[in-house]
Chain A
């Protein structure tokens, strides 16, 4: 997988089964990030119809919205949210041009932007760490590490 070379900030996408959860965690992360992360974060919560579930279309749309060419970090909650992002990342790795086996035209928009990464992180803590780090201008590898380090934060 090639590393992105853009000079803009890293984007952060929050994928939850619930639109309310994704939106609220995005607001919390931006607030805790001192308000710097607002444009970097996109929430992709719930199924396409607004119910509980996962929408690959909302995820791809969110990732494209916050992609500034420097990579996008995706934080997901559970089950289908994680599996959908992993399938999309595998899709992008398999097929970076977005055009295998007869696919043409607008279907190329159905894949994540290059350099999108799913992080292995707890949803809320990982989201806050990623947004703070991306808002401070950290490169993709550092944003990934910040989010994944959230698992090492013990509460007792």
Chain B
């Protein structure tokens, strides 16, 4: 299969920013049910800054693109999603090093390390009704295909609906958190869907 170059990663992040912008109101709505109703606006602010940073200082490698995006999210988001997504992208970028192109398998390995870093940062596990419920299945499926990863993330996100939250503000709600999709899992699906679309656009 084709190698993924820096342009691919910039397009993926830009596509994610566009998806977050489109879906910001839905993310905030999900967050108003079990969180503090700022997930959409926080992520939109963060990814808008990511797009600007990538344009202002074009990164020299896939790893640098993810590193720049991650650092920007940590500094601009202002909510928990900043350090969480920031850590995901920074660690994934760090794993990719300064290679000019990477394979899907390289990306799968690097993202697995990125998700592991998110686990270490937030202390959550699969089934706790967090972004990990979309991301962990996605990175397990990524070696198969981008489409398999997106499907796994989508199933994982919907799968958070019946779960009881064990992390973050939603965990204070106990059983009342049941019946709502986790906003972090929903936004993680946007990231993985954008990856699939970027691949399909490049493959045409």
Contact = CB atoms under 8 A, between A and B. Distances in A.
Interface of A: 47-48, 53-57, 79-80, 83-84, 86-88, 90-91, 94, 100-103, 107, 110
Contacts of B84: 83
Interface of B: 38, 42, 59-61, 63-64, 67-68, 71, 74-75, 78-84, 86-87, 90, 93-94, 98, 117, 121-122, 168-169
13 contacts: A47-B78, A53-B79, A55-B78, A79-B169, A83-B82, A83-B121, A87-B83, A91-B90, A100-B67, A101-B63, A101-B68, A103-B67, A107-B71
Contacts of A94: 94
Grouping DSSP codes into helix (H, G, I), strand (E, B) and loop, the B interface class, with mixed when no group exceeds half, is: helix
A48 to B, nearest CB: 7
A80 B31 CA distance: 15
Contacts of A55: 78
Contacts, number: 71
A90 B74 contact: no
A54 B78 CA distance: 5
B122 A83 contact: yes
Given A87-B74, A102-B59, A110-B75, A80 B82 contact: yes
A83 B167 CA distance: 12
